[in-house]
A and B are shown apart, each in its own frame.
Chain A
Amino acid sequence: MSPDTGESTSSPLLVLDDIAKSFGAVAALRGVRLALHSGEAHALVGENGAGKSTLVKILAGAHAPDSGRMTLDGKPLLLRGPADARAAGIAVIYQEPTLFPDLSVAENIFMGRQPLRSLRRVDTRAMNRAAEQLFARLGVRIDPARPARGLSIADQQLVEIAKALSFDARVLVMDEPTAALSGVEVDRLFGVARSLCERGAAVLFISHRFDEVFALCQRLTVLRDGAWVSSGRTADLSVDEVVRRMVGRDVDSLFPKQEAVLRDTLLEVRGLTRAGVFSDVTFSVRGGEIVALAGLVGAGRSEVARAVFGVDRYDAGEVLVAGRALPPGNPGRAIAAGLALVPEDRRQQGLVMELSVERNATLARRAALARLGLLFGGAERAEARRWTRRLRVKTSRLTAAVGTLSGGNQQKVVLAKWLATHPRVLIIDEPTRGIDVGTKSEVHRLLSELAGEGMAILMISSELPEVLGMADRVLVMHEGRLVRELSRDEADETSVMLAATGQGAIA
């Protein structure tokens, strides 16, 4: 079977066939294929965790695929490291800028390839001039001699782009390069990408912004759960069709939410406003109910959750737990009132990676477990064992450092930590980001169980199938406002996606 289903005008420049890559027990990619043609921009789309970034790392030579073939110009391509990828003419712009803060902007661009003069010495002047020319091509003014430290995110991204340009790359890979750029800068970037294409380069473009994908790319490949779904010409596709392919799977069977008896309202949020971030957010969650907060990244969902929990302040509105108003900006009181927040970024905000599983699991319960201010191992261990068993955390022993666990099991430990505080209201931000499918359904089973026991759950999720499968009600946010509330019956991919992108919203 041809790796490319769109009609080919030329033989492809770079071909990936049947690529597989696993990290431990988690299969990040399997059977992935991709064909990049010279002179064309190719979009790679998929949900979070679909394997896009892993594929980028493979193209960059940072990860070696477990199996599969790569060819460049019909010749087998073996990348043993980033240096090999560079030598092959593959340039990568990473999602997160990878700069050296202490070095000058010009050196950041040309590191390892600085122009040389006699005796193989670095020619700083020529290097600065070359950097200036690159910036001129991009239409921006950044002093090549200044250090990279202190550059704005957009400027850092522009330096990355200049770096990729400086390769005269045959294959340019861009992993969400536009997230931090303004409209003008995006236009310039696209201009540069098009001129590269005209010179015969192939571009791989990864973005969540469909308007950009359709504006720039001639072909499009969809990944889902680490597997190849389809490749084709963008001209033959509509946004709806692409979205359907990205999320398409049997939603109900994967995410079982049992029917639970709805009890009293436990969490009530009225007119919550934080200037410039979100405004007039009003909703309520009843015991036994799972309410999903959906929307695009940056719509303000996590910010609402943080404000409700008291991590961030808010300018207006109020939060009530079981009918009693919560003082703003006080997480301690929120915990005492029975609120728990499982944050999105478990590595930074949810866990202490070096500490053991049991320590992490009982971290939020230290005060209750301590006797006369001292923590005794026995009490800690018993409590940790109870929750890790209930959550089926897979760990060799409770004293193992949390950092050694898989992503899914780490997430379970974070959950254990908060469940140990016996919350009445659980706010959970991206409960299954970056964890494998098996663990995902376990987390979902658990959430469903907790709701069944009468807990009120507010779930923030960017994964549509999760939202649709788990939620009794779906609240959709767009640019800081709650634009739509959908019942379980009303909610489907189209209605949620349309509301999240600000189309057809009924406020």
Chain B
Amino acid sequence: MSLSDTGVAERSTGAPSAGAGRSGRGLTERLLAVRELSLLLALGALVLVTTLRNDRFLSGQSVKDLLLGCAILVILAVGQTLVIVTRNVDLSVGSILGLVAFATGELFLAAPGTPWPVALVTGVALGAVCGAVNGGLIAVARVPALVITLGTLYAFRGVDYYWAAGQQINAADMPRSFLRLGNQTVLGVPVLFLVALVVVAVAGYYLRSYRSGRELYAIGSEPAAARLSGIPVGRRVLAVFVASGALAGLAGVLYAARFGTLDAAAGTGLELQVVAAAVVGGVAIFGGSGSVYGAALGAVLLTMIGSSLAVLRIDPFWQQAVVGALILAAIGLDRLLALRMAARLRGRSAHGA
């Protein structure tokens, strides 16, 4: 398997290299590497076309805005990838983000002196609790994650609205050190984006190099076989939802730091963008394959389409249509690759046996 075993991913995202010196990559890996490559090509083409029309698109400020803009989506896409790989889906991430963002604001209102790391940890913990609710309900009710998280999507948002009661939190209510976190740069790179990079690298490395990470792929690839091979399927799926919730919590805290102004509607509808990013990034919706690197690139691509259409002065209406076309193209590409690979593997099987 594995997108996550490809060297391309390492090169493209700067994840630590574990497979240094591994030679003779198989046909599969080379084929699967195409996904990250084609995403990079699409990104490159988009940059090129947009820059030709408006050379300010590649200016320092514009790139910084782009990196800042995609960071939150990237973090959510990583969490979503962990879930989708196990043949599940988490639709509640937008609501968790909104709830945690509002809770962070409330925390600073109630205790103005709270240092920002405490707020960060609190937010991640709250997100993890929400994820545990998802995972627990799925384990107990034995209902598909799609249905459960569709329910909690509304439930968490409802809690958010009830709590906010129409109130809005403003940047003035939050400490400056916290807000700086959302806009500061290190060597020109936004801190938010660096956080996202660390999340991608850690998750990508975990999925590729640890037994439990490999087991997530096994669960999504064939759940019945996973049970028979002694994988603790229930525990792993619960853990995946907790991780997805925690990452949504992290994203919520960062959202609060970045925007400063919060109401109960923060992050509404974000879940579909997240799923779209993962699918465009080559994460198979029925589980078993895909990498966080691809999903992260998908998130970058979706964000960049938004800003580049604005630069190109194209009606925002088209943005949705383009995203839709991109998803269909990604799925079409997957199908084509799968068919080609199946044909070639059959050929090899005949020789191998």
Contacts and interface: CB of A to CB of B under 8 A. Distances in A.
A and B pair up: yes
A147 B222 contact: no
B228 A122 contact: no
Contact of A94 (B29, B228, B348, B353): B228
Nearest to B224: A98
A103 B1 contact: yes
A111 interface: yes
Given A124-B22, A152-B353, A102 B221 contact: yes
B209 A121 contact: yes
Nearest to B5: A124
Contacts of B352: 140-143, 155
Given A107-B1, A111-B231, A101 B26 contact: no
A62, A101, A103, A152: which has the most chain B beta carbons within 10 Å?
A103
B218 A86 contact: no
Contact of A122 (B27, B209, B230): B209
Interface residues of A, number: 41
A151 interface: yes
Contact of A112 (B211, B222, B348): B211
Contact of A145 (B29, B211, B231, B288): B29
A111 B214 contact: yes
Given A114-B211, A155-B349, A100 B222 contact: yes
Contacts of A147: 1, 28, 345
A104 B25 CA distance: 12
B215 interface: yes
Contacts of B25: 145
A64 B293 CA distance: 42
Contacts of B230: 61, 81-86, 112
A143 B348 contact: yes
Interface in B1-39: 1-2, 5, 18-19, 22, 25-29
B104 interface: no
A82 B228 contact: yes
A85 B227 CA distance: 12
A149 interface: yes
B349 A122 contact: no
B214 A154 contact: no
Contact of B225 (A81, A83, A98, A149): A98
A100 B22 contact: no
Contact of A146 (B26, B209, B220, B229): B26
Contacts of A145: 25-26, 28-29
A147 B221 CA distance: 11
B9 to A, nearest CB: 15
A100 B353 contact: no
A81 B220 CA distance: 20
B345 A103 contact: no
Interface in B183-234: 208-211, 214-215, 217-218, 220-222, 224-232
Contacts of A86: 229-230
A100 B209 contact: no
24 contacts: A83-B230, A85-B230, A86-B229, A86-B230, A94-B228, A98-B224, A100-B288, A103-B1, A103-B214, A107-B1, A112-B231, A116-B211, A121-B209, A140-B352, A140-B353, A141-B352, A142-B352, A143-B26, A146-B26, A149-B341, A149-B342, A150-B345, A150-B349, A154-B353
Interface of B: 1-2, 5, 18-19, 22, 25-29, 208-211, 214-215, 217-218, 220-222, 224-232, 284, 288-289, 341-342, 345-346, 348-350, 352-353
